[in-house]
Amino acid sequence: MAARRVSLVTGGAGFVGYNLCHRLLSQGDEVICLDDMTSGMPQHVDELQRHERFHFLRHDVCEPVTLKVDRIFNLACPASPPAYQADPIKTVLTSVLGVRNMLELALANDARLLHASTSEVYGDPLEHPQRESYNGNVKTMGPRACYDEGKRCAETLLHDYHRVRGADVRVARIFNTYGPGMRTDDGRAVSNFIVQALAGEDLTVYGDGSYTRSFCYVDDLIDGILRLMELDGDHSQPVNLGNPHEIAIKELAELVLAATGSQSRIVHLANAVDDPKVRCPDITRATALLGWRPKVDIGDGLRPTIDYFRVLTGTVDTVA
């Protein structure tokens, strides 16, 4: 009988990591979740530990680790601005030292490594939509630089380990993602608006709300991540994973109000520092290489996300 594949998910107690662990368990993998719980959710670990093939290791990726694994999904790093700006030095080190340690682990195990990069490598883009060939417009200093530049440096390490030492790597540039499993204090637009609407509080929009984002439902993102990981051959070049349907932030706020039935108001705050004005992926490469396109539109994805937050915030006892 063939040995069961062992998949390591760093940051597995976070939003995307939790959903990825669920999917890997459902397809029969042995799953090791490595997380230092800086932004991971204990309830995610508690739920996942009901599976006999799930194993939790509390560990900081900035420190080396020795494990026997077949696949590594490197998702370790806070992804929301409030979380990664809370300790910017740690954010940079997690991106750089964490990736180095996971690359060394991959080489020791002859394992494939998929790294969760980000659309933030494009900065405040001058190209729209953003293709993987675009080098970006990123500030090396500022409140967002710890995340943006940390992720850019991580991609450099991945490329050099592949070129010099033959590491088998995949790079997913993940655009805005939402869905069940987010924190109430995540700090990103979808979760902020839903939590505010359910509480009857004002929905806070930075600036005039005309800046845009593209929101991908988490199930679609996991589909793309798994297709990229399982793709045979040399595919070390980055691949955008996101929903190319672009909407203004104020429009998102209005959709949340309609979907929740909230009577909350939309109020406007000063522009956030260095906040990109536009963000939309060109997914031509993902479609050609993986046969992948998102299936869930924002209206359909908001419903289960709102139901999840109703339960999490105690608005209802059970999901409708």
Cα–Cα distance for residue pair 113/122, rounded to 1 Å: 22
Cα–Cα distance for residue pair 89/251, rounded to 1 Å: 34
Of 139, 162, 160, whose CA–CA distance to 149 is shortest? 139
In sequence order, what E strands does 6-128 have? 6-10, 30-35, 54-58, 71-74, 112-118
Burial status of residue 136 (CB atoms within 10 A of its CB: 0-12, 13-18, 19 or more)? middle
Decide: 40 and 15 in contact? Cβ < 8 Å.
Answer: no
The verdict on whether 147 is a catalytic residue reads yes
Cα–Cα distance for residue pair 245/231, rounded to 1 Å: 25
Alpha helices in 166-295 (DSSP H): 189-198, 218-230, 249-260, 284-290
Residues 6+ apart with CB under 8 A from 139: 123, 145, 148, 274
- Alpha carbon 307 to its chain's center: 21
In sequence order, what E strands does 239-283 have? 239-241, 246-248, 266-269
Which residue among the candidates 18, 84, 122, 147 is catalytic per the annotation?
147
Residues assigned a catalytic role: 147
